[in-house]
Amino acid sequence: MAQGKPRGKSKGRARGKGDAKSLREDLLTRMAQFPDAESLNDNVITPFISALEAVSADRGYVLNIYGEGSNLVISTPDDASVIFQLVEDYFAAQEGDGKDED
């Protein structure tokens, strides 16, 4: 029987973590090049989100991005409207809570 490299997944996982770290570092470096929100948005954020949308669409998912911090949901098209409504209801409740305290 020929001796070969083990076929375990640990190397792939380690490489994946390294790739993720490399991507993170690359994004940070690219983001640091742009002095304001507009140029950062045009040169990094919009292309990155466009790539996420393309991958999601190719896989039959919907990409939902919300606000106030970060909220990213990738779902099936059937779930997208329900998730959207949940988020809208949450934000409306938060606004309602703030109004009651005034």
Beta bridge partners of 62: 75
Task: State the pTM of this model.
Answer: 0.54
pLDDT of residue 14: 56
- Quick: pLDDT tens for 46-95: 898 889 889 988 999 887 777 667 777 778 888 888 988 998 898 899 88
- Tell me, letter by letter, the H, E, C secondary structure of 65-101: ECCCCCCEEEECHHHHHHHHHHHHHHHHHHHHHHHHH
- Quick: pLDDT tens for 5-23: 444 444 444 556 788 889 9
- What angle (nearest 5°) sits at the alpha carbon of residue 51, between those of residues 20 and 86? 90
Q: Where do the domains of the chain lie?
A: 12-59, 60-102
